[in-house]
């Protein structure tokens, strides 16, 4: 039996199995590359979104603290059970800050309040908590565990407070004055000029903050200003 006489051009039409395997392998490599590229783009976008959210959180917390610390009461009061000794309602330790200031206005809340900024344990680890309670004329500190609170930083890892200032009376040399930055604030009868907050969370260290401490016009006898609507005139 003789083979049919097939022209050479007809015998070369179509793909061989080897050629199909090569094409499929190339397509698989291309698809894998595209998947890796798309996954990388998605991860990059997620990291950028997280960084933007973190920077927004940092700006909000800084603005809030800058606003409240910008109007601190510097009024001197008598120490309980210590006649003749006076203090200001401002306490700074290396890991907590307590003061009397003005709460930014919001519905049904505002005016002078006690504030406390410190680390506390939360559901997912340590948090930076701001606690506040309405001010009372006797300057009696509230029970902080029963006050309102606001979480400023979640999963905070470190929180440290330093303070710096000059004596109110530069000519008064009767007692030594702390020089340079101090861990906390050891002076009880005068406000510091500025505080430095060092914060880090699970994503790393926050920018170092140096916030000025400004006594409110109502509490500083050296300021002869009239306060109208929160501003000075």
Kindly state whether residue 127 falls inside one of the protein's structural domains: yes
Model pLDDT, residue 79: 66
Q: Quick count: other Cβ atoms within 10 Å of Cβ 144?
A: 17
**If you write DSSP's letter for every residue of the chain in order, what string do you get?**
-PPP---HHHHT-S--HHHHHHHHHHHHHHHHHHHHHHHHHHHHHHHHHHHHHHHHHHHHHHHHHHHHHTSB----EEETTEEEEEE-SEEEETTEEEEEEEEEEETTEEEEEEEEEEEEEETTEEEEEEEEEE--TT-PPP-GGGSEEEEEESSEEEEEEEEE---SSTT--SS----S-EEBB--SSS--SEEEEEEEETTEEPPPEEEE--B-TTT-TT----EETTEE-
Q: Does 7 or 31 have the greater pLDDT score?
A: 31
The mean pLDDT value of the chain amounts to 78
User: Does residue 8 carry a pLDDT above 70?
Assistant: no
103 φ/ψ sector (left φ>0, alpha ψ -120 to 50, else beta)? beta
Q: Does 15 map to a domain?
A: no
> Does any domain span residue 94?
yes
> Is 103 among the domain residues?
yes
Output the pLDDT for position 228. Answer: 31
232 pLDDT tier (thresholds 50, 70, 90): very low
pLDDT on residue 7: 57
Across 8-12, 19-23, 71-75, 174-178, least confident range: 8-12
> Which residue did the predictor score with more confidence, 32 or 159?
159
Look up the pTM and report it.
0.68
In this structure, is residue 48 part of a structural domain?
A: no
Residue 129 lies in a domain: yes
- pLDDT score for 11: 54
Residue 50 counted as domain residue:
no
Instruction: Using the predicted structure, report yes or no on whether residue 230 has a pLDDT greater than 50.
Output: no
Q: How many domains does the chain have?
A: 1
pLDDT of residue 184: 92
Residue 6 lies in a domain: no
The domain containing residue 166 runs over which residues?
55-170+178-232
With a cut of 50, say whether residue 142 has pLDDT above it. yes
């Amino acid at each position: 039996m003789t083979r049919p006489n097939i022209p050479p051009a007809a015998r070369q039409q179509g793909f061989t199995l080897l050629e199909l395997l090569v094409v499929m392998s190339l397509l698989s490599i291309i698809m894998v590359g595209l998947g890796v590229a798309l996954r990388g783009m998605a991860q990059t976008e997620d990291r950028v979104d997280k960084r933007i959210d973190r920077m927004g959180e940092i700006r909000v917390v800084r603005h809030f603290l800058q606003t409240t610390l910008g109007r601190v009461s510097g009024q001197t009061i008598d120490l309980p059970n210590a006649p003749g000794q006076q203090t200001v309602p401002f306490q700074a330790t290396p890991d907590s800050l307590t003061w009397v200031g003005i709460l930014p206005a919001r519905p049904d809340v505002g005016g002078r309040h006690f504030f406390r900024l410190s680390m506390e344990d939360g559901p997912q680890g340590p948090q930076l908590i701001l606690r506040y309670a309405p001010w009372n004329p006797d300057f009696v500190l509230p029970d902080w565990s029963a006050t309102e609170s606001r979480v400023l930083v979640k999963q905070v890892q470190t929180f440290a407070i330093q303070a710096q200032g000059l004596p109110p009376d530069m000519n008064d040399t009767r007692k030594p004055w702390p020089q340079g930055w101090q861990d906390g604030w050891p002076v009880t009868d005068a406000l510091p000029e500025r505080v430095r907050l060092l914060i880090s969370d699970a994503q790393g260290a926050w920018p170092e903050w140096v916030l000025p401490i400004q006594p409110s016009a109502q509490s500083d006898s050296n300021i002869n200003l009239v306060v109208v609507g929160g501003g000075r005139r």
